[in-house]
Every structure is written in C-alpha cells, then in structure tokens.
Amino acid sequence: MSEKGDKSRENIVDAAYALFKKKGFAATSINDLMAASGLKKGTIYFHFSGKEEIALLVLQRAREQLMEFLETVTTGATPADALENYFAGTIALHHSHEFIGGCIFGNAALEMADSNELLARFINQVFRDWTMKLRQIIAEGQGAGQVRDDLAADALAQQLVTATEGAIMLARLRKNDAPLRTCFDTFRALLALPQATNNIE
C-alpha cells in the first residue's frame, strides 16, 4: 500500500476512535466518518469492509494504549507503591481528558455484548488482560505482606477492575474525579494498603 493509502487508513482509524468513544459504535455513521476524516465514502470502503473492521482496529489500538498505560503507571519500589501509582495515574488520565468519553472498553462492552460476538470477545479479553496485570501486583503485595492475603488475588483484581470501570462511568457523568477517589479510597482500605504509600493529592 502506498504512503498515501497508509495515511488515509490512519486518518479513518483516528476519526473512528474519537467518534466511537464519544458517540458509540451504532450511533457513528459512515457520513460521520467522512466528515471527521475528510475522506469520501468510496475511499473508506476501499480500505475497510465496513464499520466492524474499523471498530476492531480502533479497539486494538486502544488495547495497546491501555497496556502501555498500565506498564507505565504500575511501577514503584513496592507492590503497594505500584497500586497507588495505578490509582493516581487513572485519576490523572481522566483529568487530562476532562472526563469526556470515559473508557472506550466499558462503553463498547455495554453496546456490543449482545450484538457483536467478535468485538465482544475482543473486549472481554482486554478486561482479562487488565485484570491479570493487577492480579500480578496484588499477589506480589500479598507475598510482601503489603496486601491482605485472606482474599484471593484473582477476586481482588477482578473487583478492582470492575469498580474502576464504574467509577470512570460516574466520573464521566459528573465531570469530576470524586467517584474515582472514592473508589480508590475504598480499595485502599479493602486491600489494607500501608497508609504511608498514599500519594494521591
């Protein structure tokens, strides 16, 4: 494919990413993609078979960004520090977006779960990967005596991802970080993290 063709594909995916996150998959029309990308319908269909193919590429890009984000923020001298940095990083990320759009995976899960098996499977795997990343840190924290060990790391990680998604939704609705802060304060207590590691300002 030519450099021009590659650029057109990127423009379409860029436009679709923003539109799907703001409007959702079903509400985004080809006309919306044409307007946002500046490309004609024929050009869009030359590069893609339809919205599903575009949506899958959007979700793949979003997954790469999520995994990169998790690798970046879940660092620290101790597992407890890594969890605190996850809390702080998540709040900072949604502040940077002014609480617009929420989580593309949460949005898409609600929309796709009953209507598109391919995309639903992909989204489900993203949540599994996210959960496994947090599970690893929680398990390390349990081994280091920094996280309570009377509850399974699997269950704690799954509930943390679930609660994070709910808090992101409410933060988007209310346009402030209070739901996220409440969520992470609650998990700080639930996980029994050392008080000294609390670094969210």
Q: Which domains does the chain have, with CATH numbers?
A: 1-48 (1.10.10.60), 58-197 (1.10.357.10)
- The mean pLDDT of the chain is 94
Global confidence as pTM: 0.90
The DSSP-derived string for 6-74 is HHHHHHHHHHHHHHHHHH-TTT--HHHHHHHHT--HHHHHHH-SSHHHHHHHHHHHHHHHHHHHHHHHS
| pLDDT tier, 123 (very low <50, low <70, confident <90, very high otherwise) | very high
Task: Give the dihedral of Cα atoms 101, 119, 39, 18; nearest 10 deg.
Answer: 10
Average pLDDT for 141-163: 98
Is 60 exceeded by the pLDDT of residue 198? no
How far, in Å, CA of 71 to CA of 85, rounded? Answer: 11
Q: pLDDT digits over 55-91, tens only?
A: 999 999 999 999 999 999 999 999 999 999 999 999 9
> How many other CB atoms are found less than 10 A from the CB of residue 100?
10
Q: pLDDT digits over 65-74, tens only?
A: 999 999 999 9
Write out the two tokens for 89.
């990083």
How far, in Å, CA of 201 to CA of 198, rounded? Answer: 9
Q: pLDDT digits over 12-29, tens only?
A: 999 999 999 889 998 999
Sequence-distant (6+) residues with CB within 8 A of 85 are 73, 74, 75, 76, 199
Is 90 exceeded by the pLDDT of residue 200? no
Is 80 exceeded by the pLDDT of residue 196? no
Is 60 exceeded by the pLDDT of residue 201? no
How far, in Å, CA of 40 to CA of 59, rounded? Answer: 23
Angle between helices 79-96 and 178-191 (to 10 degrees): 170
How much is the pLDDT for 6?
78
